[in-house]
Structure 1
Amino acid sequence: MFRSSGGLDAILQRPEKRPQPRWWNLMFSNPTRGLAQLLYDARSIQPRDHANPVTVVCISDTHNYKPKVPDGDLLLHAGDLTQAGSLQEVSEMLAWLRSLPHPHKVVIAGNHDFALQSEERDKLDWGDILYLQQSSTSIKFKNGRILNIYGSPWSRKLGNWAFEYTPHQDLWTDNSPLEADVFITHMPPRYHLDIDGYGEQRLLAELWRVRPRLHIFGHVHGGYGLEVLAYDNFTAAYESIRRNTGGIGSVFQMFYLYLGYLFSSKATRNAIPRTTLVNAAIIGGLRDDQRREPITVDI
């Protein structure tokens, strides 16, 4: 059931296999973008604190691997549970997830999870696992908090895989509820933890519209990590440079706004709306030979 997208070489050279370029790699080839990346990386905005937090454990792209998972209130898996996507593989991964002690578990599919694209998924034992497929759920936690969670498995077409869409299809615009606190998608948003702009622009626009507290994704293995997306003019200028619609003037704008941020009060900084982004791809490396740790966040 494993589908090839054009042979081993094509698989190994997919964008999600390449390392993340940093500002010093860009200074000679694209100095405008290099300076923008330097400024963007320098402004380190922290996730927003909550007096009554929910601990969320984030994993994605396990590809049949079963990592050691820390405790938490909510376990999220952002797709690619399996490698070949057979019913047996999915069943084994669900059995592993069911065995974990987390009181709440939410899963979406990824492009490797073929069995979840057919009616075969109804034959599976989901137990205490909630499965989302371009749908939402609300979960109440023991501390009284309620989180609204939206999940979508779709990723841009890259061969002959599951849950894919063509670049001309728009599966994102106005498709998620405004009250969503958490996004789980397999596809990353563009320009953020996505390796050189491989992510989805319309998903990024949807983040700006909804502004959830947390967005977990995977798919692009090399983008593993955590970033805080701030919804302000500084980030807008950075993204315009990444889109090639902003030039050196946008770099000067970023520099001016960065200085303003450095001298701003704590209250002003805390007032900036933001989303914690997590690329939770467990499997990584050029030949998928790395095993990363789950990422835990409090929201």
Structure 2
Amino acid sequence: MAPPDPTLMVLPATIQPIIVVSISDLHTIPLSGVHIPYGDILIVAGDLSEGRPAQLMQRLSELLVLPHTFKVVIGGNHDRALDPKCDARDAAIYNDLYERQQCRAAFREARESGVIYLEDESTDVTIAGRAFKIFGSPKSLARSTNTAFGYSEDDSFSVWNIIPAGVDILVTHGPPAGYLSDDENGCDGLLNALWRVRPMLHVFGHVHASYGTTKLSPDDMQVSEAQRLGRFLEARNRRKLREAESRGRYIPPHLRRKMLGGSVAATSRQVSTGFPAGAPVEVPVLVQGQTRLINAAIKTPGTPRGAIVTKILR
């Protein structure tokens, strides 16, 4: 007889799963406008704002009153007031250097009130006697040095060496290549780090259209270093070709595909994004030895999507 599928197990009444609730890419959406169920861990994977200190402080005040046991938050490419390197440009424009500094201090100090802000660092949390190591990074691929927490393709492998072994939950703003992403923003270096670390859960956002959930393919674990490097160079060449073809102009994805052939979506493992607007999405129970990936970007032109909820068996 085949063993039972652990993702379909009915738990005894005495065993309560650990609930992880994930959202990302709020931008201007208040938390009150998003369906966020209660859980043990709330993850917010960046782009809490459009970058101004007042917007971020408002988002922090909303997070502080949520009832989740642990609230883990990272910045994103739009959260410019959280990145000191953006001060030189932004503070000169808005004359708000003091407010930016106060904003960063407030996010750091919020740990005492249950909001854990991570910036290329890890934290350990214990729930119902079980310890989890969570690593968070606001980084995403960028072409401009002016982008908050951006890094270049040339650095895309070395930059993720900061992820330590033993991470259970990985939170990044940018996505890995080939999973719930697109050819513009998926990072081969981050995917390489996933193969190395194998977290139970990886939560990210950034690419709004790729909201959903999937698993890291066992086939990808067998890919050789040479194949990984070859695919990375091929993707970089495609991006450079698109840049040359566009001559610096923005070209919508559907026209890009016509120009260069092929489909970006066809190379990305992802689920349908046709979930009911605003409704939370439940995915199967997390299983030790597997890596579940979640793109939790709730931002859409219409009604925001709901949080994505996962369960961990103790």
TM-score by shorter chain over 0.5: yes
Counterpart of 1:128 in structure 2 is 114
CA distance in 2, matches of 1:273, 1:152: 23
Query: Matched residue of 1:168: which SS?
Result: helix
User: Which of 48, 62, 66 in structure 1 is aligned with 2:26?
Assistant: 62
Deviation at 1:128, TM superposition (A): 1.6
CA distance in 2, matches of 1:242, 1:215: 22
Amino acid at match of 2:62: W
Q: Cα gap change, 1:234/1:178 in structure 2, threshold over 3 Å: closer, same or farther? A: closer
User: Which of 73, 77, 102 in structure 2 is aligned with 1:111?
Assistant: 77
Counterpart of 2:65 in structure 1 is 99
Asked if the contact 1:58–1:296 (Cα under 8 Å) also holds between the matched residues in 2, the reply is yes
Query: Matched residue of 1:150: which SS?
Result: strand
User: Which of 167, 174, 190 in structure 2 is aligned with 1:187?
Assistant: 174
Query: Matched residue of 2:194: which SS?
Result: helix
Q: Calculate the TM-score normalised by the size of structure 1.
A: 0.67
Asked if the contact 2:200–2:289 (Cα under 8 Å) also holds between the matched residues in 1, the reply is no
1:86 aligns with 2:73: no
User: Which of 143, 152, 155 in structure 2 is aligned with 1:166?
Assistant: 152
Q: CA RMSD in A?
A: 3.0
Query: Matched residue of 1:281: which SS?
Result: coil
CA distance in 2, matches of 1:183, 1:282: 19
Deviation at 1:99, TM superposition (A): 1.1
Deviation at 1:274, TM superposition (A): 2.0
Structure having the higher helix fraction is 2
Counterpart of 1:231 in structure 2 is 218
Counterpart of 1:29 in structure 2 is none
1:205 aligns with 2:202: no
CA distance in 2, matches of 1:197, 1:276: 22
Query: Matched residue of 1:179: which SS?
Result: coil
Deviation at 1:58, TM superposition (A): 0.2
Amino acid at match of 1:122: A
Counterpart of 2:17 in structure 1 is 53
Counterpart of 1:139 in structure 2 is 125
Q: Cα gap change, 1:179/1:197 in structure 2, threshold over 3 Å: closer, same or farther? A: same
Amino acid at match of 1:293: G
Q: Cα gap change, 1:244/1:89 in structure 2, threshold over 3 Å: closer, same or farther? A: closer
CA distance in 2, matches of 1:211, 1:116: 28
Amino acid at match of 2:25: D
CA distance in 2, matches of 1:191, 1:197: 11
Counterpart of 1:259 in structure 2 is none
- Unaligned residue ranges in structure 2 (runs of 5+): 85-100, 235-285
- Kindly report which structure 2 residues correspond to 1:26-45, keeping only aligned pairs within 5 A, or say none: none
Counterpart of 1:30 in structure 2 is none
Deviation at 1:74, TM superposition (A): 0.3
Counterpart of 1:154 in structure 2 is 139
Counterpart of 2:295 in structure 1 is 279
The superposition leaves residues 70-120 of structure 1 with CA deviations (integer Å, 9 ceiling, x where unpaired) of: 01100000000002x111000000111111110110000000001111344
CA distance in 2, matches of 1:94, 1:88: 10
Asked if the contact 1:47–1:276 (Cα under 8 Å) also holds between the matched residues in 2, the reply is no
CA distance in 2, matches of 1:272, 1:69: 25
Counterpart of 2:39 in structure 1 is 72
Q: Cα gap change, 1:164/1:187 in structure 2, threshold over 3 Å: closer, same or farther? A: same
Asked if the contact 2:141–2:185 (Cα under 8 Å) also holds between the matched residues in 1, the reply is no
Deviation at 1:53, TM superposition (A): 3.2
Q: Calculate the TM-score normalised by the size of structure 2.
A: 0.64
Amino acid at match of 1:279: N
- Unaligned residue ranges in structure 1 (runs of 5+): 1-44, 246-269
Deviation at 1:177, TM superposition (A): 1.2
